[in-house]
Amino acid sequence: MNDELLTRRAREVYLESASSLDAATRTALAVSRRRALASSGAGNLGQGAWWPSGAVAAAVMLAAMLWISPRPGTEAYHASLDEAGLSELMALGQELGLGDEEPELYAWLGQP
């Protein structure tokens, strides 16, 4: 029996024995594997995979906000400013007790 034959046969026997483990042992090994993966923390391994998706989500939200918000010089921009300004004036007027007296004036001020 030469060395090459010995090592080849040994490897064949080894691989065959590993593939023919009984069901109980295979189950125990699978449980051990799951424990190992759980102990590694899907957390620890997954952190690197999570942060890019978080960054992408933040970028998408920022882009959406920029897209939706009115731009200076547009009617919507003025309308939003006027609505905000009108609300402030109404609040101020109510504080001063003027809200009931001149509502049309404040409505007029709010028009573009």
Cβ neighbours around 90 below 10 Å, total: 17
Give the integer Cα–Cα distance in Å for 53 and 15. 41
Give the integer Cα–Cα distance in Å for 87 and 81. 10
| Residue list 46-75, contact with another protein (CB under 8 A) | 46, 48-49
Minimum distance from residue 58 beta carbon to another protein (Å): 20
Closer residue to another protein, CB minimum distance, 11 or 91: 11
Contact string (CB under 8 A) for another protein, positions 6-45, x = contact: xx-xxx-xxxxxxxxx---xx-xxx-xx-xxx-xx-x-xx
Contact string (CB under 8 A) for another protein, positions 77-96, x = contact: --------------------
Residues in the chain: 112
Cα-Cα-Cα-Cα torsion 16, 20, 25, 31, nearest 10 degrees, comes to 80
User: What is the distance in angstroms between the CA of the first residue and the CA of the last residue of the chain?
Assistant: 101
Point out which residues bind another protein (CB under 8 A): 1, 3, 5-7, 9-11, 13-21, 25-26, 28-30, 32-33, 35-37, 39-40, 42, 44-46, 48-49
